[in-house]
Structure 1
Amino acid sequence: MRAAVVREHRGPFVVEELLDPRPGPGEVLIDVAACGVCHTDLHARDGAVAFPVPAVFGHEVSGVVAEVGAGVTHVGVGDRVVGAFIMPCGDCAMCGRGQEELCDRFFSHNRLNGTLYDGRTRLFTPAGEPVAMYSMGGLAQRAVIPALGVGRLPAGVPLADCAILGCAFLTAHGALVHVGDLRPGATLAVFGAGGVGLAVIALARALGAGRVVAVDLAPDKLEAARRAGADEVVDASRADPVAEVRRLTDGGTDLALEVIGNPVTFRQATEVVRDGGRCVVVGIAPSGVTAEVEMTRLVRRKIQVMGSFGGRPRHDLPVLGELVAAGRLVPGDLISRRFSLDEVDEAYGSLARGESLGRTLVELTPAG
């Protein structure tokens, strides 16, 4: 099969031939229809987040099940599925507690070593060289995914577009529902109108949020936020975002989400929530970056500051699929550009230069 391989940190995505992967017990093989282009891939590619190379990145995919390993019963060959970037093992302590977004084996095996849960990658060159997998290594014609990390899609939903359910919308659902405890009519501020920020806005709307305010520095991203469902936008290059959000929401929001991973916007997000409000931090910063919070306000106003990483695939993917089937979520509205596998280096270059609005998608043709 063909796959985009990165052989050195900060190096290009180069399409190579790899051996067809095979699923082990509890795993599925999919023919990849599409893979979303996410900034987290760049953090790992560039070494800001430790990850081995050579590697295949890409961690939000959709496709068709081509083969299932022993013990897999909830999906079968021919099913249209979405694959989550978090691939729970189902057996560790965190999965047992229902917090599969913190799966011990996912972090210790995949995020540290680029393998699946037997300690081995499923990707090899024709010469036998192992290639690390970032999640399932979705920038390839075929991908192996632990079965608990895939969800069947309802009939009639667009297969390629639904790839972004596996990271952007999964992350949004985790932040809004599992951590943010979003209630109907709640007011929100969203700091950052990139791919995940737009997913947060669109999903909040689908789940019945009240007034939604988007904050960014880029006018084109703020316009995209309006299209995604934001009631108000704040250009942080032209106005004090804390004062503006407070003004637009009569003193503060019920919930603020920081989806950039920046110390400045982290503090701003903590300062726009009302007394007793909740600030959810989603953005990934380079390792070692710290941020400040005003301690007295945190205590006196009973502000909750909480981190959120991804979502819970077994629960969230079916919910998201049904929202798409019902027309309440339209993932294609967030996709601004589409690339082929041969154009993948251009896709990530555009993302790195800040040229991408919302999500961009790499669409793949099945291996022959």
Structure 2
Amino acid sequence: MASLSLRSGGLRLSRLYRTNIRPALASIIGNREFSSQPEQGAIDGKGYLMGSEKSTMRAAVLWEPKKPMVVEDLRMPRPKTGEVLIKTKACGVCHSDLHVIKADQPYPSPVVLGHEITGEVVEHGPHTDAATLKRVPVGARVVGAFIMPCGGCFFCVKGEEDLCETFFKYNRGMGGLYDGSTRLYQASTGRPIFMYSMGGLAEYCVVPTHAVAPLAPSLPYTESAIIGCAVFTAYGAMKNAADMRAGETVAVIGTGGVGSSCVQVARAFGGRQIIAVDVSEKALTNAKKMGATHTVNASSENVVDRIREITGGRGVDVAVEALGKAPTFVQAIQAVREGGKAVMVGLAPAGVTAQVDIAKLVRRKVQIIGSYGGRARQDLPTIITLAEMGFLKIESAVTQKCSLEEADATYAAMDRGEITGRAVVDIDPSLGSA
């Protein structure tokens, strides 16, 4: 037995994607430290849809881990070159934020959390190229992905934007954007406030242009926020990591926001048997609505035995672990067939390890693949189109909505296991649901 650390990986597109979904899509698609000084210069309002009088915004600030978030006034952020300012419509409530709140993941504070958003473009940074102005003009409805690729690092050039080293160094490592500074400052003091991804729990947010994609007019603003992480992560796991093929069998262990999205994507890719595993009957009922063909209640059934029973003793082609816990990590490995793929998307607190049988891993060619999100420029437009076509039912995946003032309480409810599926913070009701 030996400890094993997760690795990201990606393979080819699924056969279903190549033969069924891609043609359908084609038919409808014609190094610096952070500055402690606030941004200088008055807001002139140019490009803002709400007028020039707006100089502050509201945001939910986590001043320190394990403390409640507080809604504060921050200075209006300004986009720099390669960035857009978005008037935030909605932001999803994700366990990744909870890891920061609970100090399971070290992160600079104070910080504005929230990393899957929808909204309206209100300003471009200076020197924006013509292609970007055409793709996401002022007034465009957009989705923002939590992995915000720089577009020019070693991995981005290779097309592996989910490994963007600039994002992981400057945002996940230092809490800002790619010039080495944050865009957020407290209105009253000018104190810098860090950003988790774009800091979506705010009325406005600055996002690198590579991380945004136009939102189809037919898709609702609020529910579409989950496209930027929950669905984005599920799609990356199934397409890039698992290379899922039509007719394969899939088990999803943990059917919260990301897990239930994995069920949906597996169904869209033509999964023959899709087995949802959870300890909550409510979550399993929801997973059935998302497309699961079978459910296993881990609180009363032996997960691995039941999965093998459903699959005729063989195990599944693909098992997805969406909880980030050592026992379920092992379950996913044990649940796959010989030569199968165990894809790990659940984030665990730093330092958590799990044990595997190396001999079985080697002799039976079991693949263990880490997967963290998708590839924004490649995957985000496709996901949006899949939702537009009805392959993904995002409205059914959102089970709770709240206001910005209720965000902290909603994260607490998620921590207590009281939210099935995904919750979304409706930050600007004035933009409407459509």
Shorter chain as denominator, the TM-score bin is: over 0.9
Deviation at 1:205, TM superposition (A): 0.8
- Which ranges in structure 1 are unaligned for 5 or more consecutive residues? none
From 266, 277, 301, the equivalent of 2:329 is 266
From 280, 292, 310, the equivalent of 2:373 is 310
Alignment partners' CA distance in 2, 1:336 and 1:155: 22
Deviation at 1:263, TM superposition (A): 0.6
Deviation at 1:249, TM superposition (A): 1.2
- Give runs of aligned pairs for residues 244-323 of structure 1, distance below 5 A: 244-250=306-312, 251-323=314-386
For 1:114, the equivalent position in structure 2 comes to 175
Amino acid at match of 1:217: V
For 1:88, the equivalent position in structure 2 comes to 149
Deviation at 1:327, TM superposition (A): 1.4
For 2:412, the equivalent position in structure 1 comes to 349
Alignment partners' CA distance in 2, 1:159 and 1:366: 10
Secondary structure at the residue paired with 1:113?
A: coil
Alignment partners' CA distance in 1, 2:276 and 2:385: 26
For 1:153, the equivalent position in structure 2 comes to 215
For the pair 1:102 / 2:175, whether they are aligned, the reply is no
Alignment partners' CA distance in 2, 1:341 and 1:63: 15
Amino acid at match of 2:296: V
Alignment partners' CA distance in 2, 1:257 and 1:88: 25
Amino acid at match of 1:205: R
Q: 1:6-34 CA deviation, whole Å, 9 max, x = no partner?
A: 10111111101001101000001100110
Amino acid at match of 2:150: C
Alignment partners' CA distance in 2, 1:262 and 1:344: 25
For the pair 1:78 / 2:139, whether they are aligned, the reply is yes
Deviation at 1:45, TM superposition (A): 1.9
Deviation at 1:154, TM superposition (A): 1.8
From 238, 242, 261, the equivalent of 1:176 is 238
For 1:61, the equivalent position in structure 2 comes to 117
Deviation at 1:160, TM superposition (A): 1.6
Question: Across the two proteins, how many residue pairs are aligned to each other?
Answer: 368
For 2:17, the equivalent position in structure 1 comes to none
Deviation at 1:367, TM superposition (A): 9.3
For the pair 1:52 / 2:114, whether they are aligned, the reply is no
For 2:396, the equivalent position in structure 1 comes to 333
Instruction: Indicate the larger mover: 133-142 or 321-330.
Output: 321-330
Amino acid at match of 2:245: R
For the pair 1:21 / 2:77, whether they are aligned, the reply is yes
Deviation at 1:158, TM superposition (A): 1.0
For 1:5, the equivalent position in structure 2 comes to 61
Instruction: Indicate the larger mover: 355-364 or 324-333.
Output: 324-333
Alignment partners' CA distance in 2, 1:125 and 1:137: 14
Q: Is the 8 A contact 1:141 1:367 kept in 2?
A: no
- Which ranges in structure 2 are unaligned for 5 or more consecutive residues? 1-56
For 2:185, the equivalent position in structure 1 comes to 124
Instruction: Indicate the larger mover: 43-52 or 131-140.
Output: 43-52
Alignment partners' CA distance in 2, 1:112 and 1:50: 9
Q: 1:55-111 CA deviation, whole Å, 9 max, x = no partner?
A: 000000000101111224131111100000000000110111111111011011001
Amino acid at match of 2:213: G
Alignment partners' CA distance in 2, 1:342 and 1:155: 28
Normalising to structure 1: TM-score of the pair? 0.98
Q: CA separation of 1:367/1:235 partners in 2, compared to 1, >3 Å: closer, same or farther?
A: closer
Alignment partners' CA distance in 1, 2:65 and 2:352: 20
Alignment partners' CA distance in 1, 2:363 and 2:296: 27
Q: 1:226-281 CA deviation, whole Å, 9 max, x = no partner?
A: 11111100111111100000110122111000010011011110011111111101
Instruction: Indicate the larger mover: 305-314 or 68-77.
Output: 68-77
Deviation at 1:366, TM superposition (A): 7.3
Normalising to structure 2: TM-score of the pair? 0.83
Alignment partners' CA distance in 2, 1:228 and 1:155: 23
From 264, 279, 282, the equivalent of 1:217 is 279
Q: Is the 8 A contact 1:31 1:366 kept in 2?
A: no
Secondary structure at the residue paired with 2:194?
A: strand
Q: Is the 8 A contact 1:136 1:143 kept in 2?
A: yes
* RMSD over aligned Cα atoms: 1.2
Alignment partners' CA distance in 1, 2:160 and 2:396: 30
Alignment partners' CA distance in 1, 2:302 and 2:231: 29
Alignment partners' CA distance in 1, 2:205 and 2:262: 27
Structure exhibiting the larger radius of gyration computed from Cα positions: 2
Structure 1 moving runs of 4+ over 4 Å: none
Deviation at 1:324, TM superposition (A): 1.2
Deviation at 1:155, TM superposition (A): 2.2
Secondary structure at the residue paired with 1:202?
A: helix
Deviation at 1:132, TM superposition (A): 0.2
Deviation at 1:150, TM superposition (A): 0.5
Amino acid at match of 2:361: L
Secondary structure at the residue paired with 1:44?
A: helix
For 1:185, the equivalent position in structure 2 comes to 247
Alignment partners' CA distance in 1, 2:322 and 2:355: 16
Secondary structure at the residue paired with 1:160?
A: helix
